[in-house]
Amino acid sequence: MFTSVLLLVLAGLLGPLLAAGRRPLVPVLVGELIAGAILGRTGLHWIEPSAQPYPIFSALGFAMLMLGAGTEVDIRSPELRRAAVRGGLALLVALVASVPVGLAISAALHVGHPELLVVLLAGSSAAVAFPTIQERGLTGPSIVVLLGWITLADSVTALVMPLTLTGPGHIPEALLGDALIIAGAAAAIIAGRRLFATGLADEVKRESKMRGWALQLRIAVLLLLVLAAIAEQSGASVLIAGFAAGIVLRQFHEPHRLVHQLTGLAAGFFVPAFFVLLGAALDLRGLVDSPSALVLAVALAAGAILVHVVAASVAGRERRLPSGLIASAQLGLPAAAAALGLATGALAPPVAAALVAGGCLTLIPATAGAALLAGGTKPADRPAIHQEVEK
């Protein structure tokens, strides 16, 4: 077992190595996917994703990836609420524009699952876009709208996407599971606000900090696991569970030490493990050998860019092109669709590989969009997206 974990950790290091320096070759996540492809079914077959203990690492990594995206969403933020109207308009336009594009791609390439393609084309990735925006210190009205748009797009598509790969008979069950997860997250927010406002809670937090118990980290992991268990038992999506857990944690303005602990736990092992194992599960040789799969990857990337630029042009007032390019970034949702499709047998391996490849291709215009926005923003006006409150 330790040899398997050792190989997984070593493979994950390829991501930072390829992303290091002033001119990184690829984003970290893409490097991890490449490592998995080399060691998995595409290359050396040293990593078999279905062999123990890999499945639990992959599931936890995906849940923590979505938890990280959820922590960027503050539902109490006045700026985010003001941006919700225009962001919602942008999402609506993107969804409408995705319908003919998705149907055309599905019909032309005989892919099937046109509803899945529509959802993927309209989606955005908070896990990719938010760190990019924060790293460059981008701010201003266009960024506020962009944050609202991406938040809504990530939330809505994360909720709907699993249903597109679920049989009609399982959709009511999955919807009930999603409702239970949302109800559980809401209950956690209400209970947490009452509990954490007491003097006893303050004393316990001080004791935990002094004695190194990491109670807040344990509670955060417990919340994630409770919501993930609801998803597992009800047939809902772990994607929703992780995203909801992140939103709950964001409501309590987690202290810097909890942020560092979660980052260390997630980014240090579980999230890289998910992307390495996803890369290992993909058969990229099948993608190369299937011209239609290659065309599908390019078509999905081009379609996503087109849809989001159109949406930005309709809903935006300034910096429309770069905003649309950033919003087109997709990786978490196509990766989730590929993983779910492979696990359920709903997607053929070349199609699953094409979904991930298409998502990776959108990172190129998204990076260009961030550069264009940074070029039009004064350095003095570039604070971080949000600041954590130290407790």
**Mean residue pLDDT across the chain:** 81
CA distance 300 to 379: 35
pLDDT beyond 50 at 103: yes
What is the CB-side half-sphere exposure of residue 387 using CA atoms within 13 A? 5
Residue in the block written with tokens 């954590």: 388
- If one counts every other C-beta atom within 10 angstroms of the C-beta of residue 288, the result is 13
**What is the CA 200 to chain-centroid distance, rounded?**
36
Domain regions of the chain by residue span: 2-381
pLDDT beyond 50 at 380: no
- If one counts every other C-beta atom within 10 angstroms of the C-beta of residue 247, the result is 24
Of the ranges 86-95, 156-165, 197-206, 330-339, the best mean pLDDT one: 86-95
**What is the CA 342 to chain-centroid distance, rounded?**
18
What per-residue confidence (pLDDT) applies to 170?
62
What is the CB-side half-sphere exposure of residue 257 using CA atoms within 13 A? 14
Between residues 384 and 9, the one the model is more confident about: 9
What is the CB-side half-sphere exposure of residue 66 using CA atoms within 13 A? 28
Q: 304: which residues sit within 8 A by CB, 6+ positions away?
A: 120, 121, 123, 328, 330, 358, 362
CA-nearest of 36, 123, 21, 24 to 364 is: 24
What per-residue confidence (pLDDT) applies to 134?
66
Between residues 102 and 125, the one the model is more confident about: 102
**What is the CA 341 to chain-centroid distance, rounded?**
17
DSSP states along 332-360: HHHHHHHHHHHHHT-S-HHHHHHHHHHHH
What per-residue confidence (pLDDT) applies to 266?
83
3 state DSSP class of 83 = helix
Q: What is the pLDDT of residues 127-139, one digit of tens each?
A: 677 666 766 677 7
CA-nearest of 329, 374, 379, 5 to 153 is: 329
Environment class of 23 (CB within 10 Å of its CB; exposed 0-12, middle 13-18, buried 19+): exposed
Encode 172-186: b = buried (16+ Cβ within 10 Å), e = exposed.
eebbebbebbbebbe
pLDDT beyond 80 at 169: no
pTM higher than 0.75 for the full model?
Answer: no
pLDDT class of 390 with cuts at 50, 70, 90 = very low
Q: What is the CATH number of domain 2-381?
A: 1.20.1530.20
Q: What is the pLDDT of residues 147-164, one digit of tens each?
A: 778 878 877 887 788 778
